[in-house]
Structures are given as structure tokens and as C-alpha cells.
Amino acid sequence: MFSARARGGVIVPEDGVTLPEGTIVTVIADFEAGAFETAPEEERELLDAVAGVERGEVITAAGLLERLRR
């Protein structure tokens, strides 16, 4: 997990985090001002991803990078 900010409509990782071109990421926005809406399929995918994290189904950044190199 890493922090990022939206700049010019693009998600820009902070703290020197770099990802290989084409990396697929899941973004959970921290909106202090309100909620956001998704399509039903996207909501299911998000809830499934959150449930996986809650079950401990996570990998380290190093593990992710290793997996992407294969």
C-alpha cells in the first residue's frame, strides 16, 4: 500500500514509489468532502478487494515487484 495524490487527473505515487508501466492498481480515495459512486460491478470488485485485505490476503511491495518481473 502506498499514498498518492491526483495531479492533472493522474494518480502520482508519493515517497519515491515507482511502478512498472502498465501496472494495474486499486485506488481507494479518501474524500473528506463526500462520497463517490461506482457501477455495481465496480462496487463488487472493490468490496471483494477490501474483504481480501481484511482476511490478510496481501503481499509486500517487494513481493509485488517480484511477481511483476516474472
CA atoms of 48 and 10, how far apart (whole Å):
24
pLDDT for 41 equals: 92
Grid coordinates representing 3 are 499514498
CA atoms of 12 and 46, how far apart (whole Å):
20
CA atoms of 17 and 4, how far apart (whole Å):
9
58: amino acid identity, one letter? V
Q: What is the pTM for the complete model shown?
A: 0.42
**Structurally, how many domains does the chain consist of?**
1
What is the DSSP secondary structure assignment for residue 62, as one 8-state letter? H
Beta bridge partners of 12: 5
Could you say which residues of the chain have pLDDT below 50? none
Domain hosting 53: range is 4-69
3-state secondary structure of 17: coil
